Amino acid sequence: MVAAALSHPGGSGPTSGAATTRRWTAALPRLGTYALLVVALVVLLNAPWRWYNLHDATADAIVASSAAVGSGVVAPLAAAAAAAAAAPPYVRYRRPRLTDADADAEADAAADAARVPDAEADQIPAADSPDSDHHDATAARRPRILQSRSYPVSPLRHDRRLSPALRRPPSAAQHVMAARAPAAPPVMGDRHRDVNGTVLLVSLDGFRASYLERGITPRLNRMRREGLAAPRGMQPAFPSMTFPNHWTLVTGLYPESHGIVANRFRDTAPPFNNASFVYKDATTTQDARWWGGEPIWRTAARGGARAAVCLWPGSNAPVGGAHADAWVPFSPTLAPADKIQWALAQAVPSLFPDGAPLPLETRDAAGAPVAAHNATAPPARLLTLYFNDVDVAAHRHGTHANATNAAVAHLDGVVGALLDAFDAHAPHVNVVVVSDHGMADSSPDRLVSLAPWVDPADYTWTDNRPLFFLEPRRGREDAVRRGLAAGAATWGAHLRVFARGAGPDRFHYNGVPPSRVPTWVLIAAPEWSVVRHDGERPAPGEAYDPAGLHGHDNRHPSMRALFMARGPAIRPGGVIEAPPVVPVAVPVERPPANDNDASLANIEIYSFLAMLLNVPTAPNNATAAGQAAFADALYPPAPLPRVAA
């Protein structure tokens, strides 16, 4: 094209000097355009930016809140938050420049990713066959529960070196508690683990596994690459809700075994007598009678390990007759920096001055307030932290909203601050990061209304949207049954209805006590919800809430949760997944998914924590294969000292 622009119009004979000059002058703008296009193409090919508009009010608030974490624990995070807050209308995220070692690790991770499909790209599991996945209510059964187990004990060992000086100490202006330099533990040159280890369990509520693929989580991706991880995510228990799954994570039990069967439910049997469990009601959640199983903090105490629990759902109930040794009552306004400081104070009490005010309200095993920090207290060997920023943002705005991406990026920075703080002050701690469930988008255009088939006056209900509990009123049982059958036939794949005790075996829900589940259980397909009637739809122009939902089929990729771990006991670069299973029978026109249940099941986490702590477990639903896989991911125990003959 450039040659044509400079050639003679007639194509014959040389041109005069003046004519040539005129043609070159006329061609210059076109040449400049081509040059700009080439430069733009080079920039796009060499700078793989991910663009997210962070400048709505909610996103700005989330990004700005990072400054509190940075000033309190890790200074660079504050600088990053300030830069994000001062950025132009679009903020760009990309991976930081890699060192040679990181580049090699990235190449290995990319090769692995080429072999492992992205969680969001996985085929949605096919519909279950009634013949293979359902059975009569009389055949309901509980899953096999593994009995208690213990692990061999050996002397305290440390596998990681402590820095001679504290890095990035907390700001005295931000926190009264000022860190002291801890005494360095013995340095061990072998690759054995301390079987009496320390564990920090961190929950990122609602953090969908596929959020890691958005290019805005460098610290979590680095932890996943360098530690132990489930590349396809972790499968939550059914229903994929907050309270059932947080309790499954710390008991190793399915909801049918531990009794927290939803975020909201009723129990018609004594001593509850039709009382309701409501996850936001402290009066019910602190009643230990609702909670079955033994949480890991009680298991730790039984094994002689001190536990400190911050905000974990269920920790405000004295299950087994007592709380954790130290625990923090739930509050939605706690700053991330305060949570990290609190965990450090529990893990290494000598870091902070004796008698200093604790950064968070703390109670002891009897529920009594703890007045001040005790620098001579025995260190906690089990710690938990809880963050719900991402869950709140996705419920309000949806999974792909600007505010949700901002919350994901912010929480990645919080986790980075936490890891830096523990690397500097408590490198003997094994850090396990999980989430309770994933998240799917919701829309007023995807609502299953029951009113055309079932009269709302014919039943009582409990709404755990997208899970819907329905109990027919006396004398209306047949009408409700016929209406539900007609509605399910009409809505097809968007609505699933099953009777109490007759759901899919893989849900592990048929053993729920009859007093805690109604006659009918309805579950909407991902991105759909169940409503009683069209009056529950938003008015034109009214914002729809919630824009994001969980509680769907726990096998769906959008519900997959997060699992990764790193620390001195854990081999780096490990991968853990559930073994392949034979797919359920499906219609011939739809092939089965290749990795039907290839993600790690969260019932395995409790026993993994007990393995790291070296305490015997309570009965639980973990599998022998799953625990063998976790055992292989750890360094072998330090050898017992030889006894002279």
d(C-alpha 272, C-alpha 275), whole Å: 5
Region 240-250: mean pLDDT is 97
Classified as helix, coil or strand, 217 is coil
**511-545 pLDDT, tens per residue?**
999 999 999 999 999 988 888 877 667 777 666 77
Residue 586: C-alpha distances to residues 209, 493, 569 (Å): 26, 13, 42
Q: Are 394 and 548 in contact (CB under 8 A)?
A: yes
d(C-alpha 17, C-alpha 214), whole Å: 57
Kindly state the tokens that stand for 597. Answer: 């249940």
What pLDDT is stored for residue 643 in this prediction? 58
Count other C-beta atoms under 10 Å from residue 418's C-beta: 26
Q: Are 250 and 450 in contact (CB under 8 A)?
A: no
What pLDDT is stored for residue 612 in this prediction? 96
Region 114-126: mean pLDDT is 33
Classified as helix, coil or strand, 518 is coil
**464-520 pLDDT, tens per residue?**
889 999 999 999 999 999 999 999 998 888 999 999 999 999 999 999 999 999 999
What pLDDT is stored for residue 26 in this prediction? 66
Counting DSSP H helices and E strands in the chain, the numbers are 17, 23
CA angle centred on 584, ends 580 and 585, rounded to 5°: 140
DSSP H/E element including 469: strand 467-472
**317-333 pLDDT, tens per residue?**
999 999 999 999 988 78
Residue 633: C-alpha distances to residues 94, 225, 230, 576 (Å): 31, 14, 12, 8
What pLDDT is stored for residue 233 in this prediction? 94
d(C-alpha 595, C-alpha 233), whole Å: 12
Lowest mean pLDDT among 153-157, 192-196, 340-344: 153-157
Cβ-based burial of 121 (10 A; exposed 0-12, middle 13-18, buried ≥19): exposed
Region 213-231: mean pLDDT is 96
Lowest mean pLDDT among 276-285, 329-338, 506-515, 607-616: 329-338
E strands, 315-458, where? 326-328, 363-364, 382-387, 429-434, 440-441, 447-449
Evaluate if residue 349 carries a pLDDT over 80: yes
Evaluate if residue 620 carries a pLDDT over 60: yes
Region 284-301: mean pLDDT is 97
What pLDDT is stored for residue 21 in this prediction? 62
d(C-alpha 317, C-alpha 260), whole Å: 13
Evaluate if residue 178 carries a pLDDT over 80: no
Region 602-630: mean pLDDT is 94
Return the half-sphere exposure (C-beta side, CA atoms, 13 A cut-off) of residue 459: 27
Residue 216: C-alpha distances to residues 220, 232, 465 (Å): 9, 18, 29
Amino acid identity, residue 563?
A: F
What pLDDT is stored for residue 640 in this prediction? 60
Evaluate if residue 139 carries a pLDDT over 60: no
Higher pLDDT residue, 391 or 97? 391
What pLDDT is stored for residue 191 in this prediction? 66
d(C-alpha 113, C-alpha 239), whole Å: 29
**Helix axes of 218-226 and 402-425: crossing angle, nearest 10 degrees:** 50
d(C-alpha 227, C-alpha 419), whole Å: 12
What pLDDT is stored for residue 637 in this prediction? 80
DSSP letter for 614, please.
T
Cβ-based burial of 284 (10 A; exposed 0-12, middle 13-18, buried ≥19): middle
- Confidence bin at 382 (pLDDT 50/70/90): very high
**398-454 pLDDT, tens per residue?**
999 999 999 999 999 999 999 999 999 999 999 999 999 999 999 888 888 898 999
Q: Are 388 and 205 in contact (CB under 8 A)?
A: yes
Kindly state the tokens that stand for 370. Answer: 């703890």
d(C-alpha 581, C-alpha 583), whole Å: 6
Q: pTM of whole model > 0.75?
A: no
Q: Are 348 and 425 in contact (CB under 8 A)?
A: yes
Q: What is the pLDDT of the chain when averaged over all its residues?
A: 76
Q: Are 530 and 450 in contact (CB under 8 A)?
A: yes
Q: Are 347 and 379 in contact (CB under 8 A)?
A: yes
Higher pLDDT residue, 2 or 598? 598
- Confidence bin at 598 (pLDDT 50/70/90): low
Rounded percentage of the chain residues whose pLDDT exceeds 90: 55
What pLDDT is stored for residue 27 in this prediction? 65
Lowest mean pLDDT among 55-69, 331-345, 488-502: 55-69
Classified as helix, coil or strand, 605 is helix
- Confidence bin at 68 (pLDDT 50/70/90): very low
What pLDDT is stored for residue 529 in this prediction? 87
- Confidence bin at 463 (pLDDT 50/70/90): confident
Phi/psi for 329 (5° steps) reads: -60, 150
What pLDDT is stored for residue 160 in this prediction? 26
Listed ranges 77-86, 168-177, 234-243; the one with the highest mean pLDDT: 234-243
d(C-alpha 360, C-alpha 308), whole Å: 12
- Confidence bin at 306 (pLDDT 50/70/90): very high
Higher pLDDT residue, 43 or 527? 527
What pLDDT is stored for residue 445 in this prediction? 86
What pLDDT is stored for residue 236 in this prediction? 96
Q: Are 159 and 568 in contact (CB under 8 A)?
A: yes
d(C-alpha 577, C-alpha 226), whole Å: 17
DSSP letter for 280, please.
T
Least Cα distance to 197 among 616, 618, 624, 609 occurs for: 609
What pLDDT is stored for residue 579 in this prediction? 57
What pLDDT is stored for residue 99 in this prediction? 40
What pLDDT is stored for residue 532 in this prediction? 84
CA diameter of the chain = 109
